[in-house]
Amino acid sequence: MADVPGRRILGILVAVFFLLSAAHSAGTRSNDGIRGFLPSRVEAERALEQKLRSIPDAARAESNLRRLTSEPHMAGTEASHRVAEWLLEQYRSFGFDAEIVSYSVWLAEPSEVKLELVAPEKKTLASPEQAFPQDKDTYDKHVAAAFNAYSPSADVTAPVVYVNYGMQDDYRELESLGVSVEGKIALARYGHGYRGIKTKIAEEHKAAGLIIYSDPGDDGYAAGDTFPNGPWRPMSGIQRGSVLYTQIYPGDPLTPGVGATPEAKRIAPADAASLSHIPTMPINAQDAAVILGNTGGAHVPRAWQGGLPLTYHVGPGAAKAHMKLAMNYQQRTIYDVIAKLRGEDDNAWVILGNHHDAWVFGAVDPNSGTATMLETARALGELARSGWKPRRTIVMCEWDGEEPGLIGSTEWVEQNRAELQAKAVAYINIDVGVAGPNFEASATPSLKELVRDATRDVADPSGTGSVFETWREHSSRPAQESGAARTRAKAEAPGDVPLGALGSGSDFCPFLDFAGIASMEVGFSGDYGVYHSLYDDFYWMKHFGDPAFTYHAALARIVGTLALRLDEADFLAFDYTAYALEISRAAGETVTRAEQEGLASTSVKEISSAAAQLAASAGRASQALQGISGAPVNVAKEEEINRELARVEQSLLAPEGLLGRPWYKHTIYAPGSYGGYEAEIFPGVHEALDWNDAGALRREADSLAAALRRAAARLDEIARLASAYK
């Protein structure tokens, strides 16, 4: 295989997959079966799921959301603690064994946020968001000044340069125009990448500071009616958010790789690679218009023209700004809620998670997910009260500190990594639970078909069929990116609905990228222009997002179905042949790229050989598992096989991590160093190709090939165990 040209390698790998496709995944669903379940257990599972799906209630979800959005509850505040205490009470009332797990983390709150235009005229900016009589919450006096978490304090006065979205290609365009941001304040608009990437790139180009604003051409009046008359961002709306360099490592910046317990060893802030060294602040479109109206300099390239009613210029020109930030950094406490519904096998955990902290009220992000989690937990609790006992333990987690940088989930995973790798079956994440009527999901490839199956069995609130059917219909249309949009992958096969790859941006990241636990994220999207603003509140949800709360109830049914199928399965329904196909495609494309760039070493070509080995092993394991269907039940052997099935994902971790960012250990998927939330496949290899670094490429290719062979060996062990099942 190593000497075959890249395009031919791809063809061979795909052919290997299709030759093995008859031996699909463990427990492939038949017309009347359920993936992962022996035929004798399907009827009982269907009855259990029907009972669960009858319980979630839209009115209860609405009541949950009203309570959760009753006050601003930013991470590190006592209000966030109050939310955690209320969630603890709810889970205990549902019959869960629940506790609060706290961490001490490095967080700031703003004590002064100041921005003014000082030339060619003087004008005070950093204006607050407008209050509207229709929505009493917009008058709340407890709303903190809008800021970017993990910006340093600073007092800077400098000319302004407009940098479009502030991504790498934009700076290349500036260089072609002869414009530098060194010593200047960069002005970027939100979109096309994580804000922390914008800060990192501005810092690398020696900018004195960065201002980020929401352009109405992206999520304001150009998209539709603005709040309070529509779902899109008004001119005064501000997108808060973190600029922590989570692409290097997420979580508490002073305790990388270990849980931020009070006794944890901490590094100095000056040594924290995830912290920015230049100030960053968010502003609204009306303030940005004042700056852009005075910027001067060359007219921008056409693609850089936003939606404000003025001609955009690059600068530097007459516009000079003064930004002053005073950030009060200290150790602050965050509060995770961990609730367990104990199963017959407490050594196997199905984990669900959502974060409860919000930038302000957080009706969509995250508390539509929190309200849904509560209805899911109530449904599972009612099943338990009726006599059902989970086969495996169900763990429901409400994270704190997600918004500053995935902190609560990361610290918990770092603290409990060994136990999680021994016990975790999979992780289900909900973040933006409901922002409209369009179902979307991302998952590791082994879980994608499980998500599709669950949506086939849940009715869509529109009344047009199942969630799967409406999902397939809307996914065939061009997607419109909202403020919280995640990158979505193309459909894997004709007729399939698309599930994206998991990159970063939410709490699945430490589970997948650090601990190697198969993960998924699910939710309903829509026209959502008030992301991370004051206006993401109960009024917005009641008028625009999900007025009847029927999509909250539908999501609880989907999440509950997914939890039951992972919890009750005879053989965990991981589809490793599908995973192998995605890897095989990527392997062929990677070798082709390396050949085109003159870097196709033996190490690179070995990726294809290892991918073919993985595909063959996945096929053998699938065939062996399907052969069990008529055998007598042997619980001990089932548990042994399931432990191995759950650990295949861990085989894909590189113990040493990716080059330059060792916290990220997954060799198949990780967020790109300059891509923000977007997942990159074979991240180490592709970044080495981007750098044109033959030595780094050899290291990362060897690491990837070794991971694929480890996964193949584990699948071969599964095939052996399944073949010996009696």
* DSSP β-bridge partners for residue 524: 434, 439
CATH number of the domain residue 382 falls in = 3.40.630.10
Q: Which residue has the higher pLDDT, 21 or 664?
A: 664
Which pLDDT value is given to residue 633? Answer: 77
Whether residue 489 has pLDDT greater than 60: no
Domain count, the chain: 3
What pLDDT score does 726 carry? 63
Q: Please, are residues 213 and 284 in contact by the beta-carbon 8 Å criterion? A: yes
Q: How confident is the model at residue 469 (pLDDT cuts 50, 70, 90)?
A: very high
Residue 221 has pLDDT above 70, yes or no: yes
CATH (domain of 579)? 1.20.930.40
Query: In 3D, which of 238, 228, 225 has the Cα closest to residue 543?
Result: 228
Q: Is residue 529 part of a domain?
A: yes
Query: Residue 362 in contact with residue 75, Cβ under 8 Å?
Result: no
**Which residue from 409, 431, 429 is spatially nearest to 364, judged by alpha carbons?**
431
Is residue 402 part of the annotated active site? The answer reads yes
Reply yes or no on whether the pLDDT at 163 is more than 50.
Answer: yes
567 falls within a domain = no
How is residue 692 written in tokens? 């044109």
DSSP state of 83: H
H-run or E-run covering 50: helix 39-53
Where b means 16+ CB within 10 Å and e means fewer, 660-697 reads ebebbbbbbbbbbbbbbbbbbbbbbbbbbbeeeeeebb
In the predicted structure, residue 492 carries a pLDDT above the cut 80: no
Which residue type is seen at 665? K
- pLDDT by residue (tens digit) across 227-242? 999 999 999 999 999 9
Q: Are residues 284 and 371 in the same domain?
A: no
Task: Answer yes or no: do 583 and 635 share one domain.
Answer: yes
Whole-angstrom distance, CA of residue 722 vs CA of residue 716: 10
Q: Rounded to two decimals, what is the model's pTM? A: 0.94
Give phi and psi for 59, each to the nearest 5: -65, -40
Q: How many alpha carbons fall within 13 Å on the CB side of residue 281?
A: 33
List the alpha helices (DSSP H) in 597-693: 602-626, 635-651, 683-691
> What pLDDT shows up at residue 385?
97
**Active-site position among 49, 375, 402, 411:** 402
> Domain holding 226: CATH number?
3.50.30.30
Average model confidence (pLDDT) across the chain: 93
Tell me which of 311, 329, 347 is where a domain ends.
Answer: 329
User: pLDDT confidence of 30, banded at 50, 70, 90?
Assistant: very low
Give 288's pLDDT tier (boundaries 50, 70, 90): very high
d(CA 10, CA 29): 28
Tokens of 261: 């317990």
The answer as to whether 38 is a domain residue is: no
Q: Kindly state the tokens that stand for 689.
A: 């190709």
Nearest CA to 138 out of 529, 518, 530 is that of 530
Q: Looking at this protein, which amino acid is placed at residue 307?
A: G
Shared domain check, 125 and 100: no
Residues 253, 271: Cα–Cα separation, whole Å: 9
Question: Per-residue pLDDT tens for 325-337?
Answer: 999 999 999 999 9
* Whether 528 and 606 share a structural domain: no
pLDDT the model gives residue 676 = 72
* Residue 70 CB burial class (10 angstroms; 0-12, 13-18, ≥19): middle
**pLDDT value at residue 16:** 52
Predicted local distance difference test score (pLDDT) of residue 331 = 97
pLDDT of residue 475: 84
Alpha-carbon gap, residue 60 to 553, rounded angstroms: 9
Q: Are residues 77 and 117 in the same domain?
A: no
Distance from CA of residue 480 to its chain's centroid? Answer: 18
Among 278, 299, 329, which residue terminates a domain? 329
| Residue 121 domain-assigned (yes or no) | yes
Q: At what angle do helices 6-20 and 602-626 cross, to 10 degrees?
A: 10
Q: How far apart are CA 650 and CA 427, in angstroms?
A: 13
Backbone angles phi, psi at 260, to 5 degrees: -85, 60
Question: What b/e string do you get for 162-186 counting C-beta neighbours within 10 Å, with b at 16 or more?
Answer: bbbbbbeebbebbeeeebebeebbb
Give which of 73, 187, 75 is closest to 536, Cα–Cα: 73
- Please, is 602 exposed, middle or buried when counting C-beta atoms within 10 Å of its C-beta (0-12, 13-18, 19+)? exposed
Q: How confident is the model over 146-161, as a mean pLDDT?
A: 98
* pLDDT tens per residue across span 525-551: 999 999 999 999 999 999 999 999 999
- Calculate ∠ Cα 398-400-404, nearest 5°: 140
Residue 74 lies in a domain: yes
Q: What pairs with residue 212 in β-bridges?
A: 188, 282
What 3-state class would DSSP assign to 330? strand
Report residue 495's pLDDT band, with 50, 70 and 90 as the boundaries.
Answer: low
Beta strands in 246-344 (DSSP E): 280-283, 320-341
Residues 81 and 160 in one domain: no
- Cis amide bond preceding 437, omega within 30: no
Residue 504 lies in a domain: yes
- Both 97 and 120 in one domain: the answer is no
What percentage of the chain carries pLDDT values higher than 90? Answer: 88
51-61 tens-digit pLDDT: 999 999 999 99
Is the N-terminal amide bond of 316 cis, ω within 30° of 0?
yes
**What band does 33 get if pLDDT is binned at 50, 70 and 90?**
confident
Asked if the model's pLDDT at residue 21 lies above 70, the reply is: no
Where is the domain boundary, 560, 594, 621?
A: 560
Single-letter residue type at 586: A
> Nearest Cα to 233, choosing from 109, 61, 364, 321?
364
Whether residue 383 is found in the same domain as residue 437: yes
Is residue 303 domain-shared with residue 340, that is, in the same domain? no
Q: For 567-579, what is the mean pLDDT?
A: 96
Give the pLDDT confidence of 193-218 residue by residue, as tens digits.
999 999 999 999 999 999 999 999 99
Calculate the CA 641 to chain-centre distance.
Answer: 29
Looking at the structure, tell me whether residues 163 and 223 fall in a common domain. Answer: yes
> Does any domain span residue 39?
no
Q: Rg for the chain (alpha carbons), in Å?
A: 25
Tell me: pLDDT of 490 over 90: no
Report the chain's terminal Cα–Cα distance, integer Å: 37
Strands 209-213 and 424-429: unpaired
Question: Do residues 114 and 323 lie in contact, with contact meaning Cβ atoms separated by under 8 Å?
Answer: yes
The verdict on residue 45 lying in a domain is: no
Residue-by-residue DSSP string for 97-137: EEEEEEEEEEEEEEEEEEEEEEESS-EE--PPPPPBTTBGG
Residues of the domain holding 96: 70-105+332-560
| Residue 25 confidence class, pLDDT cut points 50, 70, 90 | very low
Q: What is the pLDDT of residue 50?
A: 98
Three-state secondary structure call for residue 209? strand
Residues 325 and 336 in one domain: no
Amino acid letter at 600? A
87/578 Cα distance (integer angstroms): 38
Residues 508 and 652 in one domain: no
